[in-house]
Every structure is written in C-alpha cells, then in structure tokens.
Structure 1
Amino acid sequence: MPWRTPRNALVRLRTPGTIPGFLKTASICALIAGLLSPLSPAVTATQAAAAEVTAWNDHCGNQCSEILPPGQNGNATLAQILLNQAFGAMPEHASDQLGPYANLATGYSGLTNATINNFFNDASFGVPSDQVASTVKPAGRGDVTIVRDKKTGVPHITGTTRYGTEFGAGYAAAQDRLWLMDVFRHVGRGRLTSFAGGAPSNQGLEQQFWRHAPYTEADLQAQIDNAVATNGERGRLALDDAKAYLDGINAYIDASDSGRYFPGEYVLTGHKDSITNAGTIEHFKLTDLVALGSVIGALFGSGGGGEVNNAISLLAAQEKYGVAKGTEVWESFRERNDPEAVVTVHDKSFPYATRPDDPQGEALPDAGSVSEEQLVYDRTGSAAGAAATGASTAAAETAMSSAKRGMSNALVVGGEHTASGHPVAVFGPQTGYFAPQLLLLQEIQGPGISARGASFAGLSMYVELGRGQDYSWSATTSGQDIIDTYAVELCQDDYHYLYRGTCTPMEKVEQKNAWKPTTADNTPEGSYTMRVWRTKYGPITHRATVGGKKVAYTTLRSSFMHEADSIIGFQMLNDPDFVKGPQDFQKAVQHINYTFNWFYADSEHTAYYNSGDNPVRASGVDAEFPVWARSAYEWRGWDPATNTADYTPPSAHPNSIDQDYYISWNNKQAKDYTTAPWGDGSVHRGNLLENRVKKLVAAGGVTRASLVKAMAEAGLADLRAEDVLPDLLKVVNSSPVTDPTAAAAVSKLQTWLSAGGRRTETSAGSKKYADADAIRILDAWWPLLVKAQFEPGLGSELYAAMTNNLPIDESPSAGHGPTGSHAGSSFQYGWWSYVDKDIRAVLGEPVQGPLAQKYCGDGSLGACRDILISTLKEAAGKTAAQVYPGDDQCSAGDQWCADSIVQRTLGGIKHGKISWQNRPTYQQVVEFTSHR
C-alpha cells in the first residue's frame, strides 16, 4: 500500500524518540495535566444510555461478523497523543480490533462457528441495552441519536428524519476521523504540504494524486452539478444527504473547537494553539467530498493506463527479435487472455479490450524519445534539494502503484453447498494498514437507509461495504482498462496541439504550495508549483516523437471528471426498498463507475457484477498501446466537453447470479475479459483461494468457520512455494543432487512443502517462523533464479523493460516493490506464471498459452537444472542478515519482523507490529438465516 515505512508517513508526526525538548520528562506530565483540565468528551466517555438501540429488521440471526483494525477511534487529543508517544498509552477504542485481527493467523486452525467472534466482532443491527457505552444527541437535535457500543465504540446512528440521519453520520465521522478527513481533502486538491508540512513523503503524495486528477474548484463543483442533474430524484436526494452530512461534520468541528477536544494533530501542525486555542479548523464543503472521492477513485477504482511503458517494452522486444518474433514474445509475456488464468465467473465469456487482428491508429514512440512530463516547477527552500525530489518521487510511485495492486478478496459459496442451506460469504476490501484506518465502521438507520459496515472517512453518508437488513455486499479491485493514452500532435509550439484538425492551446492548471516548519514536521520552509497541461484528451503525461513528429501523450480515463457519479450506486445499496434481491443489487452497482468486482449474498442467493464505465473503443484500436488523437480512433460517442462516451452495456460486464461459488483476489474476471494489470497467468494469488474453495464445495457442508479457515490458510501461504516450487524441485531432482549445500537446501524446502509451504509462527507470539531456513532460502533464491532463467535469453535491455511492466517478486519482506515494506499485501504481482510455464515446458509437460520460447537453459533440462542448482547454492549461502537487511523497524536478520505488518501513521498514535497475514483490512463473515 501507499507508504513504504512510517518514516514516510503521510503526516510525519513526532515519535517517542523525537519529542521536542520542551515536552520531555517532568514537563510532559505537567502539560498533559493542563490539557486534561477541564475534561472533554474526547477524554471521558459520555453518560451511557439505559435503552438499547432498536434492532430494526435484522435477518442475520447473529451470524454476521466484521473486523477493521486497528480500532474505531481515529481521533486523539494532544494530551492523548503525548501520552501515547511518551508511554504507549492508547485512547479508548484506538487499538482494540488489532489484537483479534492479528490472532487469527495462529488461531484459525481450531476455529468453529461458535468462536468466530473471538477474531471478529458481532455485526448484528442494534446494541443490546447492557452493551450501550454512550448516547449522544448531536448538536442537541431531537431527530437523531448516536449510540456507541462498549466493545468496539462503533457508532449506531438512528434518525427519525432523513436530514437528521445524515447529520448524525457526519457528526459521528468527524468524532472518529476528523484529522484524517482533513488530510485527504487536502491531498485531493494537491494542497497537502501547505496543510501538513513539506516532508518529502507529503510532497510525493500530493504530486502523484494531483497529477492524475488536476481539478480546479470549478471542476469539483461541476462534478456535483452533473451528478445531480443527470440522476433525477436520486441525484437531488444525494445532494440533500451530502449537505446534511456536512452540517454534521461542521457541527462537530464547532463543538470540539469550543470544547477544546479537537484532534491534537491540529496543534502539532500549527493550525491551533494549545494554550490560547487561537487558530481555526476550516469547515467542510461539498467540493471537499469530491476531492476526497478523487483520491479514493485514483487509489482503488481506476484500472488501466501504462500504454507508454507497454510500447517501450514492445519496441525493445522488436529490436531484439524483429517485428514479428518480437511481437510474439511480448504478447506471450503480456498474457492478455491466458487460458490457464484463474477466473471469477466460470464458463462464460465476456470479450472486452481484446487484441484486434489488424491494429489501427497506433502511435508508438520513436526509440529513446520518451520523456516524462515535468510536474514540479519553481522549487525554493527545502523543496529545492535533490534529496527531497528523489524521496518525493519514490513516495509518489509507491502511493499510486501499490494501492492499485490491492489485496481485497472474496469467497462466496451458494447455499446448495453449505451445511445450513444458506449462502456463506467471507469477503472484504484491502485498503492498507494505517493509523487511523482509511475506513470507519458505522450503522445507519433512518428513512430510506438501513445498513451497517465500512465507509471511507469523509464519504460515509452511506455504508459503502457491508450489510443491509437481509443481504450483504463487498468489493475487490478489478482493474479493467478504462484509461487510454492518446498521442496529440504538437503544432505552433510545445503547448498547442491538433484537435480535430485545429491547432488548439493546451490548458494550464497550476497549484502552488508553500510550508513552514511545525512541531510535527521540522522540514525547513520551502515551496514549489505543480503544473499540469490538460488537453481535451486528458492531462499530458509524456512527450516523445512518433515517426519524427513531436507529440504529447495524454491519459484519458472514463471516470475523469466523474468521481461524484458513483454516489448513486451507494445510495441504492443502502436503500432496503431498492435492494430486495440479487438483480436489484446488480442494478445498484451498475451506477458505480469505479473498476470493482462486487459480490452479494442473502439467505437464498449469491451474485457478482464487475462495475466501471468501460468505453466502447473504435474498431481496430488496441487498448494496450498509445493511439493517435484523431476522430477515427476516439471512443465511440465521446463528448470532450463532458468526458462522456458510449459504454459497454451491463450485460457485457462479467456478471453472474447463483454460481456454485465465487472467488476473487484481484484476478481475471472471466474468459476473454482483458484486464489492465500484467500477470494474470497460470499462477496467481487467486489460485490460493480457488484451490481451497473448490475443494470445500466438492465436499459439501461448508460453514462460516470452514470458509474463514480457507481464507486464513491462503493468507499465510507462500504462493511461490505452493504453486511453483514443486516444479522447480522436479527439475533439480531430475538427477541426484550431489552438492552438499544444494542437497541440504532441497531437503529443507521439501520439508517445508510437506508442512504446507506457509509462513507461520512456531507458536502464537513466538515471532519465529517454523521452517525459517527454508523460507529464507526461497526468499533469497527467487530473484536469483528469475534473473538467471530469463535475462540471458531476453537480453539485459528487454529483461529490464519487462520488469518495468511487471516486477519479479512481492514476498512479504520485499521492500523494493510497489507495495513497500511491512504492508501485508504479498504475491499480487511477480513472475510466477513465467517461471511456471517455462519450467513446465522444459520438463516436457503440457502448457496452454506457453511463452514464445523456452528460456531456462535454452530449453535444455540439464542446463536448466545447472542454473537452478547454482542459484540455489548461492541463495542457501546468504545469511539472514543479507536476506533481511533491516530497516527503521527491524534489526538485520529478524525474519519475522521483516515480514511484519506496521500500521502506517497518518496521525499521532502509533501501534505495535503484528505478524504477516495476506488478507483484507476490513472483512465480513456473513450467513443470513431469513429473507424479507
């Protein structure tokens, strides 16, 4: 996920070792004592109510559960931050979901239906009277009540009017995530450094997000106007809901300001004075919601792009092999429609973005002519140094690419295969591990709204992933291609281009940022200006020449200027009068233009739908490569004034109702459905779920516990060990292994495979892996064997170009890839399929969709074996300290720590590490017992 380590946290706040001198030792106690007087609602719980929250119409029969670490409370006063940094003290409900979440890694094997809530929380509607912790009538309103439960502190918002319900949702969101919401509305506007300081990571984040959504205030407002105007009564209702939600947020801002219990980060970043209370916390406005939505859309719901990099690697392949053979080699690595890829929808074809027989309009760059468009200008002060620039770039690249490679997953089994006869689902999104978490939990009950679950902070006027009265839904990132690259031919100068035959000026959009040192960030003052040149075909990302002509490459995505549109789909999902079955669910998510896989379960049915505005491309256009910006190659029906086009109909999107089971781990959706990410081949993380769920379904009698076990076991599996290592050892063992070092390594690897090939602790809390040596050997071996297997045949230039499209590895301890260190997400990308297909070909085994040639040892079994043994010996000789070199979290050689998950700090509260699990952040376990 976006940030590599806490030193690159979004907002860099002081850690215990760097508390300013004036806050140390005795003085810190005095300061805290002063801050705690008078006591505020943020420090002491409000009086508990005697009455329970009405349970509404709950058909889950106490069989709905959920978890979202680290905790519901994402706000902390200055006193609480200082106590945490000095003594490790935690605000109430800031960390109470982290332990149960972590414990599943060692506790899943003995799981039963009765013990699920040892690792999850009950997600039934309402709060029993003996579990009510507090009751609040926000701003003294009589039409809404916020009740929080004792165990988790989750808000249960009950309104008697629609306005009051949404007002309560906004108030509760601000209670739990005000600082985070403020941070991300500034990220969405490219104004983070001016708000939170000029740390290199802050620079990188605002640069990368704003590059992809360089909106003006007028653009943000236009999105609101368009969403309302094009959606009739539901659009008007959404606008009213958003206004009420904002009123609730702003009411909490006013109350916390006057009561002086606002988040302490406002003091640490210089927005408020801890002594005089001078300073302001700006009220939220409608355009802030769109700015927030643009960040979420860029992170999780915008598949595609990358056409320029594709073109560079294709040209490298053609340079080495010639056009025909080079294209064949490139296509075999691209695996656009690999017949061995695991799919979510069984036995149905949904052609999209398939390779045309005769590509038209391609605008491939001249070799060596591509340069990335400059974004940052006029650096001064701390922004001027090369170090800041480099760190910003690295953080930016990490932020975008890693988040798009999320590890959300879903396991859904139809009732005919379960013990109860009702469908069972275990599913959830991966939004990374942050403190506070990007998501928040809530229950909302009011006129036209009845739902419980998770929502992104600042966009929680509706539950976005969760459950209704008798149904539940969730999503995984799908990543199908809704972004295309156009080559606009330049005319007159570098800032005019040909648009439908007319020389047209580009639009310059700028954002200036300046910052001064604060308590939270001691980066010296500095400033810079971000500048994006926009065309009717989208923002410019690169410049090059094509056939000697100067061009600019643009990126056009179907959701550009339309992030606000998806609100209608979420409104429908929360409406019990709209969603009454799987068909209604599919109709609702068709209104969501983000690229997601959506899953549904009620007591009788299951369903799936792939959302996103998939543009209808011109005949002959290959979505993999840049095309000329000419009418003949534009999206069909495209209107540049509104960025709308003809989109593929819902029936053309992968969809299904009541399939025997569904799995998803960001894998291929269906046969012939070409997704944007590379690596949808014979070995994919989705296989870890497919193999287990298919086996459960074949046996029958699936329960909530058995499905959770399957998810948890897959989340501890090393994909390379489970699906590739057996064939590697076949090659190694094709003759007796006489070298003692290699033989010992083979023995350790085989023992590990016999034990399951999982990365598990010897015992709960041991912080030591069983089969530690085998894990170390594979971690060291993989990059060595991939390079030795493929680089000689591909050549260094083409090998490097291919690794730019698809990095070779994402082990849990990998700090070099897009996800970065300590992020949990693993095995989403890598050269698993390439190694697998090549090794099977060398062994003489059948391979569907093979690579264009054999690479390992030029296809000779003996030569391939020599390569594997030599690299295995080298890997076995590497020490733990060499394989796990250590960082600011871990000592060199600490294997468990290198894999461990760290909650990346987005505020002032820090949390301890947990052991590695490859699993969603927010997760539901559901089995409804009845239906309306």
Structure 2
Amino acid sequence: NGRCRPMQFFDAGKLTNNGATSEVTFYRTVHGPVLGYARVNGRRVALAEKRASYGKDVLDLLFYYRLAHGQVHNIDQFFRAADQTPQTFNSFYMDDRNIGVFTSGLIPIRPRNVDPDLPIKGTGHEEWHGYTSFGNHPQGINPPSGQIVNWNNRPEAGYEAPSDNWSLGAVITSAMNAAATQDVREMLLEPVLSRLLHGGRAPSARDAQMLSLLDAWRSQGGSRLDRTGNGQVTAPGAAIMDAAWPLLARAWASAVLGPALTSQFARLESVYEAPPGGQETTWVPYLDKDLRTVLGMRVRGKYAVRYCGAGNLKRCRALLWAAMDRAGATLARTQGANPANWHSSATTERIRFIPGILPFTMRYTNRPTGIQQVLSFGGHAPGDG
C-alpha cells in the first residue's frame, strides 16, 4: 500500500557444520526473508524473496489426505484434490477409462508491467493480483494420442517457469532410454548452430571437420555412451561439444553483455549442468532462440535484444567460428591433431553414490527421479464415477 513497514528480526537458532557452530539470523519483510542488499541511485535497499507457498506448505497434506482416505473416485475429483496443494507439481491420473494430468500450485497473477525475470519495487504498486484459478491451471484429459508424457518440461504453450527458475526443462524429443544418454546441447542446439556456421567458411580444415563430426553425432542420436567399455565417450563429437560449449556460450553473450555481465549471468544461471548432473540448467534455450532470430528464421516471442554479434549475422558467425577454433586448438594440444580421435572421459561422469554406503558406480543416465511402473486395470472400481 506504499507505507513503509518495519522489518522483523528472526532468530532461527544455532547451526553446526563441520564442528563450527554459528547463530542463524535474518530480517524478514512483508514480502519475505531478506536475501541481501543493493543500491538504487545510491540508496541502500533490501532484496527480499517472496514465495507463494510461504507459510502454507502444510496444505500440501490435504491432497494426500483425500487420496489416502478414499475421497477421490474419478478424474474430476482428482483434479480438485490436486488443486489444494500450494506446491507446483505435475500430478497424473489413470483408471480403466481415463488418463489425465493436472499442474497444481499457487501461481501468482502479476501486473502487466511486471517482468517476472526482474526484481520489482516493494512499494505495493507491483504486487501480485491473486492466484491463477482452477480452470486456468495446465490440465488435460484423454489426449487424442492416448499418451501423456512429461519430464519436467513446459506443461502447456505459454506456461512460464517460476521466477527463481529461468527456464523449464526442454521439450521431450525421444523415448526415455534414448533421451537418458543424450547430450541436450547436441540434440536441441546443434542443428541451428550447424546451420549458422555452415553459412560461412570455416577458419581451417580442422574446424570444418569438427563441425562435420558434430553433425554426424546428432544424426546418430547424440549419445554420451561408452559403447566399448574403454572409459571414453565413444562419439568424438562429445569431446568437441564439451570443449567448445563454454567458449561458444561466452562468445554469444559477450558482444552485448560484455565480459563482466556475462560472468555475472553465468553465476546466476549455469552455462551447462554437465553429466553426471541432469543437464537441466543450461544456456541452450537462450542461444537457440537468439541464433534462430539472427538467422532470420521464424521465432515466436523474440527477445527484444539481439545478442550474438549484436544481431549482425556475419559478426555472430565469426565469433562462434573463433570459439570453435580455440576449442580445436586446445583439443589438438591434449589429444592429437585428428578430431576423429578426440574423446571425453566417460569415467568422470559416472554416477556415484554416498561414500561408505554403496561402493558402486553406474554409467551416466539422465532418468527422471520417479518410479517407472506398468499398471493394468481389469475393470472400474465399484462406486467410482
């Protein structure tokens, strides 16, 4: 409402870590806990984080209470029960007649002038206008394909990621077993990168061979598998992408952001969550949209700013080829002159378990955290609608 309201001092108690004990205290505003401070026009301001489910987490139990106590008998009742939780979650339903999915959560309605990716003023003029209604949550019943597939990707067109998450998972492009070992950069970005680079001359024959190996890797599925058991990712394209990607990403951003802002952006949003991580956090979506825009391709929701080469196609291509060339020079020094003999280590990206409990490792696989099940129904439950 525009009035200045005092902060609350919160003492969370003592925290012991590695033998050292410290008192955990922080300030809390009407918007949420204070995360830090900044300056606006020379004036010190507090940065607070507002969470829609703050103080309402226990309401999540209402959903599971209804499920556990026989209060859900059909898909409509399931959707209504799922709508009770404040947590953003994809909940799936199936019986012998219907399948469906409902994305729950307290989704704030923001003023039209607010950019969800940027901080807002805490004066009360840019506050949320309530939450999305039940009918406007992403949901669906019995799609024509007979399938509902979700791997933390965007549940419907236009659905935005939370404000503290700059992107949602990529659209699923293949079956689970194939996708579990694929390189996200190779499968989602390489086609547009290849199109852009092929539009000009490679700096050297080695660089041209590197791009050809990337093209071949994608046509073969972009897998990071060690197919021979020698501890190396079999496809040489993996080594090329691993070496070139950080250079390509910075070359893409630096023409507009400059080195300092590019580094700040990298700290805020990881350039790439490499295996054995989940590859979920990455700059791939940003490069993909911007490079397609620079190429003059049809793009929905274009960025207001052209980043690669400041929007100049020739300059963009030169910057990216230079990044490829630097990556090739590094690999040539460490692995020899022939790009076809370059390989990334498959051993370093093996999945390891908690030390002292499981002494085993396993090959990298980017599978979901849920449980894979096969269910069949012999009929409809008595009394269910």
TM-score range, shorter chain: 0.7 to 0.9
Residue aligning to 1:566: 60
Match of 1:649 among 115, 133, 136: 133
Residue aligning to 2:159: 673
SS in 2 for 1:747: helix
SS in 1 for 2:368: coil
Aligned residues: 369
Q: 1: CA distance between counterparts of 2:30 and 2:262?
A: 35
CA gap of 1:540–1:851, structure 2 versus 1, over 3 A, is closer
Task: Answer yes or no: is the 8 Å Cα contact 1:901–1:916 preserved in 2.
Answer: yes
Q: 2: CA distance between counterparts of 1:744 and 1:547?
A: 52
Residue aligning to 2:32: 538
Describe the superposition over 1:737-787 as per-residue Cα deviations: whole angstroms up to 9, x where unpaired. 472321332332233223121112214x5543221x211011111111121
Q: 2: CA distance between counterparts of 1:927 and 1:830?
A: 35
SS in 2 for 1:877: helix
Describe the superposition over 1:614-664 as per-residue Cα deviations: whole angstroms up to 9, x where unpaired. 34557865544444445555556xxxxxxxxx5432112122222234332
Give the 5 Å matches for 1:752-767.
752-763=217-228, 765-767=229-231
CA gap of 1:716–1:842, structure 2 versus 1, over 3 A, is same
SS in 2 for 1:508: strand
Give the 5 Å matches for 1:140-155.
none
Residue aligning to 2:354: 904
Please tell me the residue identity of whatever aligns with 1:768: Q
CA gap of 1:624–1:851, structure 2 versus 1, over 3 A, is closer
Give the 5 Å matches for 1:231-246.
none
C-alpha displacement of 1:919: 0.9
Please tell me the residue identity of whatever aligns with 2:369: T
Please tell me the residue identity of whatever aligns with 2:167: G
Q: 1: CA distance between counterparts of 2:136 and 2:51?
A: 19
Is residue 718 of structure 1 aligned with residue 203 of structure 2? no
SS in 1 for 2:348: helix
CA gap of 1:743–1:543, structure 2 versus 1, over 3 A, is closer
Describe the superposition over 1:817-845 as per-residue Cα deviations: whole angstroms up to 9, x where unpaired. xxxxx34x11x122212322333334333
CA gap of 1:829–1:882, structure 2 versus 1, over 3 A, is farther
Q: 2: CA distance between counterparts of 1:735 and 1:545?
A: 45
Please tell me the residue identity of whatever aligns with 1:675: A
Give the 5 Å matches for 1:583-622.
583-616=76-109
Residue aligning to 1:848: 300
SS in 2 for 1:784: helix
Is residue 791 of structure 1 aligned with residue 279 of structure 2? no
Task: Answer yes or no: is the 8 Å Cα contact 1:602–1:927 preserved in 2.
Answer: no
Match of 2:274 among 784, 787, 811: 811
Describe the superposition over 1:362-389 as per-residue Cα deviations: whole angstroms up to 9, x where unpaired. xxxxxxxxxxxxxxxxxxxxxxxxxxxx
C-alpha displacement of 1:809: 1.8
Query: Where do 5+ consecutive residues of structure 1 fail to align?
Result: 1-360, 362-487, 490-497, 516-522, 637-645, 693-709, 813-821, 884-892
TM-score, normalised via structure 1 length: 0.37
SS in 2 for 1:756: coil
Match of 1:865 among 317, 320, 326: 317
Q: 1: CA distance between counterparts of 2:108 and 2:310?
A: 42
Q: 1: CA distance between counterparts of 2:115 and 2:317?
A: 39
Please tell me the residue identity of whatever aligns with 2:133: P
CA gap of 1:561–1:542, structure 2 versus 1, over 3 A, is same
Q: 2: CA distance between counterparts of 1:631 and 1:750?
A: 52
Residue aligning to 2:238: 775
Task: Answer yes or no: is the 8 Å Cα contact 2:196–2:295 preserved in 1.
Answer: yes
Is residue 925 of structure 1 aligned with residue 377 of structure 2? no
Residue aligning to 1:658: 142
Describe the superposition over 1:86-105 as per-residue Cα deviations: whole angstroms up to 9, x where unpaired. xxxxxxxxxxxxxxxxxxxx
Please tell me the residue identity of whatever aligns with 2:205: P
Q: 1: CA distance between counterparts of 2:219 and 2:349?
A: 22
Please tell me the residue identity of whatever aligns with 1:755: Q
Structure with the bigger percentage of helix: 1
Residue aligning to 1:746: 211
Q: 2: CA distance between counterparts of 1:739 and 1:632?
A: 56
Give the 5 Å matches for 1:147-226.
none
C-alpha displacement of 1:853: 4.5
Please tell me the residue identity of whatever aligns with 2:35: T
Task: Answer yes or no: is the 8 Å Cα contact 2:189–2:287 preserved in 1.
Answer: yes
SS in 2 for 1:671: coil
Query: Where do 5+ consecutive residues of structure 2 fail to align?
Result: 336-342
Q: 2: CA distance between counterparts of 1:865 and 1:635?
A: 42
Task: Answer yes or no: is the 8 Å Cα contact 2:238–2:344 preserved in 1.
Answer: no
Q: 2: CA distance between counterparts of 1:649 and 1:667?
A: 21
Q: Which has the higher contact order (CA 8 A, sep 6+)?
A: 1
Please tell me the residue identity of whatever aligns with 2:350: S
Residue aligning to 1:204: none
Task: Answer yes or no: is the 8 Å Cα contact 2:38–2:44 preserved in 1.
Answer: yes
Residue aligning to 1:877: 329
The alignment's C-alpha RMSD in Å is: 3.1
SS in 2 for 1:732: helix
TM-score, normalised via structure 2 length: 0.83
Residue aligning to 2:8: 506
Task: Answer yes or no: is the 8 Å Cα contact 1:678–1:805 preserved in 2.
Answer: no
SS in 2 for 1:587: helix
SS in 1 for 2:361: coil
Task: Answer yes or no: is the 8 Å Cα contact 1:569–1:588 preserved in 2.
Answer: yes
Is residue 913 of structure 1 aligned with residue 361 of structure 2? yes
CA gap of 1:618–1:733, structure 2 versus 1, over 3 A, is closer
Higher radius of gyration, 1 or 2: 1
CA gap of 1:924–1:795, structure 2 versus 1, over 3 A, is same
CA gap of 1:514–1:857, structure 2 versus 1, over 3 A, is closer
Task: Answer yes or no: is the 8 Å Cα contact 1:776–1:880 preserved in 2.
Answer: no
Please tell me the residue identity of whatever aligns with 2:32: G
CA gap of 1:532–1:873, structure 2 versus 1, over 3 A, is same
Q: 2: CA distance between counterparts of 1:580 and 1:653?
A: 21
SS in 2 for 1:530: strand
Is residue 800 of structure 1 aligned with residue 294 of structure 2? no
Please tell me the residue identity of whatever aligns with 2:20: G
Give the 5 Å matches for 1:519-558.
525-546=19-40, 549-558=43-52
Q: 2: CA distance between counterparts of 1:554 and 1:729?
A: 42
Task: Answer yes or no: is the 8 Å Cα contact 1:715–1:919 preserved in 2.
Answer: yes
C-alpha displacement of 1:565: 1.9
Task: Answer yes or no: is the 8 Å Cα contact 2:239–2:344 preserved in 1.
Answer: no
C-alpha displacement of 1:596: 1.0
C-alpha displacement of 1:600: 1.9
Describe the superposition over 1:66-113 as per-residue Cα deviations: whole angstroms up to 9, x where unpaired. xxxxxxxxxxxxxxxxxxxxxxxxxxxxxxxxxxxxxxxxxxxxxxxx
Aligned-residue sequence identity (percent) comes to 28
Please tell me the residue identity of whatever aligns with 1:730: R
Please tell me the residue identity of whatever aligns with 1:685: A
Q: 1: CA distance between counterparts of 2:89 and 2:333?
A: 40
Task: Answer yes or no: is the 8 Å Cα contact 2:99–2:142 preserved in 1.
Answer: yes
Q: 2: CA distance between counterparts of 1:740 and 1:635?
A: 56
Give the 5 Å matches for 1:77-96.
none
Q: 1: CA distance between counterparts of 2:66 and 2:50?
A: 28
C-alpha displacement of 1:550: 4.3
